[in-house]
Amino acid sequence: MPFQPRDQRPRAGITAVGSLLPAEVLSSDSLQREVALRSGLTLPPTLLRQATGIVSRRVAGPEVYASTLAVGAGRRALDAAGLSPLDIDLLLFASASRDVVEPATAHIVQAELGSRAHALDVTNACNSFVNGIDLARSMILAGRARRALLVTGETPSRAVRKDPADAAEFRSGFAGYTFGDAGAAVVVEAVERGGILDVDTETHSEHWEVGGIPGGGSRHPRGDEYTYFRGDGHELRGVFEKVGTAVIDRTLHRTGMDWDGFAKVLVHQVTVPYLERFAELTGVPAGKLVVTVPELGNVASASIGVQLDRVFTELEPGQRVLFVGLGGGISIMTMVWEKS
């Protein structure tokens, strides 16, 4: 018998999706040539493409900000739902990127959209978007909101060091060469059937120093050196493998579902080898995945939103999707959603 929530309280679900990609396409080979030219390093041909499986990514132009991508994706989600900006009463900007430290980028998005909702930011690295969906759902079920627009705008390409001083600095910033930019948005509101059926999380904050962008906060308020992504990709992958699949195993056990019960499995995508390792460890069939990383790279918290936008219209009511979020810090998050 298909899994059903334990009670009959009101439900909240995703009713519309939108995404936006910057126009400029940057290939891994072009990026590598630029890094080699600016740094003077001799790099093996096609190193970035072969090591990551990423062929290209989209990059935001000088006048395209995190809010720009969020606004564009938000408008598409509202149009898909047949709504105006004034139809929402909760606006969440859920992203690892932001326009400024203060105020919340949600206010910049809201001013551009012309909405009048309660607006705030949600930030938890690459899990920001899934965390934001969960927060929107919680506020709707608590009676604090009627309809939410959740947006993300990711511009991690701004944090890529293209002129490393030496090989050690190139290695320390290597994970940044996977980054691409994107925006995504969903409308979350009360639904009569389906909706978000299950959420689970696992957090291992002792690993918070494994990777990140250290600048902009009280520890390093100034200095360009702190604005680049730093981290050991192999160490980060090792941490996720050490944590294992416990949260996914719990979700499948609690819901009584197996992979056949999901129409799609949307997982945060960092590199092609990382995605292949995820499939190997979890046993998820390759056909259930929506693979975006070879053409878009690691688009941070927009990853799951972009994937969802690509399959949303082909999903039938009653079909279920598993979201698997992976974020620096580190955190892992699962969400079971059924299309209404």
pLDDT tens, residue by residue, 10-33: 899 999 999 999 999 999 999 999
Residues linked to residue 149 through DSSP beta bridges, in sequence order: 91, 187
Q: Which residue do the tokens 């390759």 mark?
A: 286
pTM above 0.75, yes or no: yes
pLDDT for residue 254: 96
pLDDT for residue 8: 63
Cα-Cα-Cα-Cα torsion 324, 231, 73, 85, nearest 10 degrees, comes to 90
Q: Mean pLDDT, to the nearest integer, of 146-168?
A: 97
The tens digit of pLDDT for each residue in 252-268 reads: 999 999 999 999 999 99
Rounded CA separation 15/186 (Å)? 7
Going by C-alpha positions, the residue among 331, 54, 76, 294 that lies closest to residue 183 is: 76
Q: At what angle do helices 233-243 and 272-282 cross, to 10 degrees?
A: 10
**Percent helix, strand, coil in the chain (nearest 5)?**
40, 25, 35
Rounded CA separation 202/183 (Å)? 26
337 half-sphere exposure, CB direction, 13 A CA radius? 29
Q: Give the H or E element holding residue 197.
A: strand 195-203
The pair of structure tokens assigned to 35 is 């890094």
pLDDT for residue 242: 81
Q: Which residue do the tokens 């209404």 mark?
A: 340
Dihedral sign of CA atoms 213, 215, 219, 220 in order: positive
Catalytic residue numbers read 126, 268, 298
The alpha carbon of 226 is separated from its chain's Cα centroid by a whole number of angstroms, namely: 22
pLDDT for residue 235: 77
Residues linked to residue 35 through DSSP beta bridges, in sequence order: none
* 182, pLDDT greater than 80: yes
The pair of structure tokens assigned to 256 is 């009584």
First to last CA, the chain: 18
Of residues 249 and 2, more confidence is placed in 249
Between β-strands 147-154 and 118-122, what pairing exists: parallel, antiparallel or unpaired? unpaired
Classify residue 43 as left (phi > 0), alpha (psi -120 to 50) or beta: beta
Q: Contact, 315 vs 225, CB < 8 A?
A: no
Mean pLDDT of the chain: 95
The pair of structure tokens assigned to 212 is 């990140």
Degrees, nearest 5: CA angle 44-175-335: 140
Between β-strands 118-122 and 90-94, what pairing exists: parallel, antiparallel or unpaired? parallel
Q: Contact, 34 vs 147, CB < 8 A?
A: no
CA-to-CA dists, residue 151 to 24, 194, 265, 276, 335, angstroms: 21, 22, 21, 28, 17
CA-to-CA dists, residue 296 to 54, 57, 157, 204, angstroms: 7, 4, 12, 28
Going by C-alpha positions, the residue among 287, 284, 214 that lies closest to residue 245 is: 284
The tens digit of pLDDT for each residue in 88-98 reads: 999 999 999 99
Q: What percent of the chain clears pLDDT 70, i.e. is strictly above it?
A: 97
pLDDT for residue 128: 98
Going by C-alpha positions, the residue among 70, 205, 44 that lies closest to residue 132 is: 70
Residues in the chain: 340
The tens digit of pLDDT for each residue in 229-238 reads: 998 777 777 8
pLDDT for residue 234: 74
The pair of structure tokens assigned to 203 is 């957090």
The pair of structure tokens assigned to 137 is 């759902």
Q: Contact, 158 vs 75, CB < 8 A?
A: no
The tens digit of pLDDT for each residue in 304-325 reads: 999 999 999 999 999 999 999 9
3-state secondary structure 304-321: HHHHHHHHHHHCCCCCEE
